[in-house]
Structure 1
């Protein structure tokens, strides 16, 4: 048997005090934001019947830090929402361009973010 995908899930049951009606969509979204990591997890508001997805993952891209320096990191930081701060940009520019002389790919940058 070949394994093509492995999933782990969590399900939350909210028990409300008597007299409180069901949560509205805004309240459910607020709760979901508190208990899941939007970078690595998905919220499924309805029961899944399959894990099949038509989503095509983005291709892995090389980020030209050696050629373009911090500008390349600043652009990919915004595009991918990596949340690198000024110190991170300086550190990773020096690390990749000067120390290890390596253009990182988008997977590597996502991992270190």
Structure 2
């Protein structure tokens, strides 16, 4: 068989009418039937399970983020307390600058010429 003969045989197969009983399509012959129902039911169950799993994972990620934020806030607060304790005078006496007194306030002015 040559290439041309193969093309003619293929063309005859493609154009041959498909086996049918000659009746028109109706809802019974076109419906997917019981196997189609089971396939769609399994797909629907899988979609619901995937949605539930996705929701659980999303909540878990959000909960971890909240815990991390809380830990960071506690760590920052502890660092601020440490800095406040370092800056605040503890047992050490506080140094006070000498106050400038104007005339008539505080001690008497020094007298000159006394020796």
TM range (shorter): under 0.3
TM-score (norm 2): 0.20
Whose radius of gyration is greater, 1 or 2?
A: 2
The structure richer in helix per residue is: 2
TM-score (norm 1): 0.20
RCO higher in 1 or 2 (8 Å CA, sep ≥ 6)?
1
